[in-house]
Structure formats: C-alpha cells, structure tokens
Amino acid sequence: MLPCRYLRARWQQGYLKDLYHRRILAGGEPLIHRSSLPNWDYNSEIFAFRHRIYGDDKENGHFVRALTNSSFFDRKDVSENASFSQPSLEEEISSREDNSELISEGTNLLNSIITGYFRAHFPKAPEEFISALTDVLASDEVLSDAATALGMQHLVRTGEFPPAASSLADAFKAVLTVLSPERRQRAVVDIIIPKAVQLPLEDILPFKNPLAIATDYATKCLSAKSVEPRVMHSSGQDSATPLWVVGVYADEKLIGSAPGETLTVAVDLAAQATLLRLWGVTTNTLLTFGEDVYQKNLSSLPKNHSLYEICDKERDLTLLTREELSYDPLDVLTIASNIKEIEKEIGIPKWKHLRHKFSRGSLFRRSFRYLVKPRPHSI
C-alpha cells in the first residue's frame, strides 16, 4: 500500500464542520463524579486511600466519617433516603455522623506538628516567623491542593461537587485524627512540609522597616557596631528595567544582599535576605532531616525566641498588607504614556534604528527564516 493522506468524501466535509461548530457552541461536558463511571467501588477506593496516607492499620469505617461533611446530609437525595447516593453508592445510609467534631482536633494536631518541625529545623528563627509559616501551610489552599493530590476530591462526601477548598481542607484535618501519632506525623512531614519549598520565604514576614530589625539582630547576635546598606551594582536607571543590587554590611563585612527594581525596594529586600540568613532559613536545607524526624515528638518541642526579645521596645514590627506587596513600583502604563518625554531626554532606543533588520517587512522581502534575529551583541 502506498502512503497517502486520507481524504473524506465531499459531502462529509461540510457535515463534520457543522458538527464541530455545534460542539463549540454547546461547550464542554459538565464535570461528573467518578462514581458515575463504571468500575467504581467506594470501599476499594478508601482501602487504597488509607494506604496512601499511612493509615493501613485502620479500618475503612474510621475514614468514612472523617470524609463526610455535614452538608452531605442536606442533599436532596440523601435527605429523602434515596438509594445508591454518590459517592459511596450505599443502598441505605445508616450512619449520620460527620467530621464536624474532628476538624478542630485535627487543626490543633496539624499546627503542632508543623510548628514543631520548623522549631527543630530553624532554631535561630523567631517564633513569629514559625507561626506565620505554619499559618500558610495550614491554609485551605495548601491543604486542598494536598488533598487533591491524594485523590480525596472523589472520596469526600459533601453537598456540592466538585468539593470546595474548605471542604477538602476540613476532610484532610479530620483524617489526621484517625491516624496513630507516629503515622500522623509521617503523613504531615511527607505531604505538607514539602509545600514550603514553593513558598517565597522573604514574604512570610514582610516587615515595613526590615532594615531596622536586621540592625538589631546584627547588633545583638553578631556584636556589630555599625550596620549600613551599600549599593553593590546598578544598571539601566533610565530604562524600563532598572536594577539595583544592595548589600547590608556589618562592620564592613557583607551579611546579606538582594536585587531590586528601585533603590528602596532593593534595600528592603536586602534587609529581608539578611534576616533570613541570620535566622538560618534557606530553601536549600529545608528538607535535610533524615529518618530521625519521624521518631521525634515534634509536638513537645519548646518555643523559639521572640522578636520582642531582640528588637527594641519602640521598634516598628508591623507587616505589609497583600495590596502593598502586590504593588508594582514600575507602572508600565505610565511609562508608556510618557515615552515621548523620555525620548527627548535619552534619545531614540537603538532597536528602533535597527528595526528593518528584524521585522518581516525587510527591504529585500526575503522569507522570515532568513532574517537576522536580534542578538544582544548585534543590538
């Protein structure tokens, strides 16, 4: 057989095109629960789930209650005692217990394990940093992401589908109460703690005046007599992408540095980097514990020092809000509206003079593949 392209009949082309446009107008298919598809067994799925979360020493009945939200019994099919309600597909729901009583207990257990882990891992960090990091990892967003990775979105019995992030987070907390202490600690360390690698640690405690706090730490911890920021490098001050690299020096020794798009931002980021360095907080050594971490009782570790023990009493320890953190000091729209005034002072950019070399409308009208691509050395 000779290789050839398969062409449909002439009458099929318009017919298939019409079907395609109808499909686009109708939209995608609605999201359905996994139990609506064949080969679904709720007990088998619970059996597989409790092995994923280190709960293979418990029975399925313990996890069914932890995975049942109170809104499940408000559903119309459940309240009317309909048979084979999703996702458990039981002929009759006999137990009316939910996880509302287990959520608060699971929250305390989760917070104690996460806090103990970071207390042991970052002994030089203040307790305020440990608490803020624990709040981020114990948030509904992080817990729902972990629950989805474990497949809990199809196992949780709720009144809505897909389950809300709060319902998945509550179910994850309730499941922790079912596990034994050793397995619970292993589950939190293996599932929740690695999420901290993706977090921007410099934004965990975004101080409004981090340089003053870094000065207090360098004075008391390093016995430094003078602490000052210095500009180490700068470039492109008159361009749309300026760069400032600022270093914090204690007794003329570099203790931290960071870049920024403005001089003020660079100083603040350098001070934050200095604090993290003095606290011993880095993402490179975040998961360096071995098997010993599973044997320690992380819930009973003592507290770390407080910021109020190091900083002066009159020091401003307030934090930036989310709006202030998301503010971009380089307003591109304002810069674009004033481009004419900028060109009068600094001249026309070099790439405008060389535009004929890079665009499709070349003088020689050659194919795009033959045009000279812009390179830093050519510009």
Tell me the average pLDDT across 187-211.
90
Question: Is 183 a residue whose pLDDT tops 80?
Answer: yes
Q: What is the mean pLDDT of residues 30-35?
A: 83
Q: What are the extents of the domains in the chain? A: 42-198, 201-319
Question: Could you read off the pLDDT of 244-280 as tens digits, one per residue?
Answer: 999 999 998 999 999 998 899 999 999 999 999 999 8
Residue 35 has a pLDDT of: 82
Residue 258 burial class via C-beta count within 10 angstroms: exposed 0-12, middle 13-18, buried 19 and up: buried
Of the candidates 177, 191, 208, 180, which has an alpha carbon nearest to the alpha carbon of residue 321?
208
Q: Is 121 exposed, middle or buried (0-12, 13-18, 19+ CB in 10 A)?
A: buried
Q: Say which CATH architecture domain 42-198 belongs to.
A: Orthogonal Bundle (1.10)
- The reply to whether 42-198 and 201-319 are identical in fold is no
- Over residues 46-53, mean pLDDT: 90
Interval 354-379: pLDDT, tens: 555 555 544 455 555 554 555 555 44
What is the reported pTM? 0.77
Which pair of tokens denotes residue 243?
A: 């760069």
Q: Does domain 201-319 have CATH number 1.10.10.10?
A: no
The Cα 106–Cα 247 span in angstroms is: 44
Q: What pLDDT score was predicted for residue 171?
A: 92
Q: What is the mean pLDDT of the chain?
A: 82
Digit-coded pLDDT (tens) for 93-104: 667 778 888 999
Q: Which of 123-132, 283-292, 328-337 is most confident?
A: 123-132
Q: Render pLDDT for 300-344 as a digit per residue (tens, 0 to 9).
A: 888 889 999 888 888 888 888 888 888 777 777 777 787 788 778
Q: Is the pLDDT of residue 111 over 90?
A: yes
Alpha carbon distance 225, 250 (integer Å) = 7
- At position 94, the amino acid (one-letter code) is S
